[in-house]
Structure 1
């Protein structure tokens, strides 16, 4: 990815924009070593390893850091650990025990119908502390909302923020705790306020291009948050379609019957339906969401086949 000319990243920082199945990867390189922040989805693991090897040019991979443990941000961890056995993997502290015991339900992989190969954690990214990645010091800030345990990383000297899914140029990630019946929209707002106080000049989001209009992004995110708070079932429907689209990105193509079977077998969809849309039968609800994806251009339908667009 080429960073826009009007934006400046710290020396040694490269952003690889990877599309929506795999999160963006941030590479930090120095004369002696390399570090990587977030590693994409497991189906792209070979590409992840190759990209890191190309950037390293023989230097050791010192650290893997994860902003949070959704499968599209840490799915390449295991492959990188196998290729770079001396690297250390740092994760937010909230789910460290679930990683050590490897609980795919607690880590949300099973409930969302996704997969993440087992990886180890060697340390934590403690909010309120700093972490040195390949010679650059980054402040660690708690960023609950999209994920209760997420952190963001801030390089104060250059005012560069690795925002993960707490802030995109046009919004933020699905607020999963809200789907589970816990109040978390307030946490999204508090995280946006925290980002505003940091006053970053450049933001590296978890998905999408690097951007510098932080005030505009915060305004758009707050507008979206207001809309979701006013109409939480709108957020719930959006979340269900995001999970469906993610699976289509992985599969690329599926028969309608097979895709519907996956939806019905994935606990998150049943939970969202029962909590927010119980007044509609399950099958018509699923059909309506899939039809919405087709109408919006996010998917296509030909005969009994559904495909990613």
Structure 2
């Protein structure tokens, strides 16, 4: 009963009648912090579904991030979600992350890879942090509890011979709270795995003198070898105020996922609403605009494709199975 009330309430906000809701399927798409890239992309996708006249309605929900989203998909709290591809793989296999250990969810299905999620390690210039090794003893925002960023931070620190215990303070807060801590000099650095141009990073750079700390060399090589979901990625110079030069880093992939609980027909209609309009999809955010293509959308998938997505991508001429 509670779920019914929540759905109807959301539908009314969107201007949808309960009658219209009953005639189709309602999809809740999990995203992340409102200051990240997941949220505007998921919100845009929901609008594309709503505007498609395919008998589906959708809304986007701000959440704690990838790990939360995977758990919420397992319980049926979410119908679709944007997550890091490594986190989806760990949830599917029931390994790699404590929250998933022994709880493999083999019902997880991929829909599409959207764009690279780049590790940003942003430090206050006055904290004198020039490398990841310099984070030892510092106050560092490592992401929300249960976020993909937290997992990435743990693995990157490990590549440099550090753990959360080596930090002066490991601050598990949202990106919005992390901004405040950086501005108030209560945090020295911040990890955030997010598309380039995210408003959280832009906001910090506009209000604090910062540097983006590189992840490169042997440490990056070791990280990629141990965790093959990572790829090298250069953050272009001038992406943020005060950061003039290109900064080498690593990235995972933002991926749209669901479960077998959604029917093939529902998934096919949602895929058609979103991915048939490549121009509209690219307009959702610069991270998508710069990086998305149909060919890339079916590469690096962390789990099997949903049958509804498989049908769609075959129709688009993609070599999938």
Normalized against structure 1, the TM-score is what?
Answer: 0.26
Normalized against structure 2, the TM-score is what?
Answer: 0.26
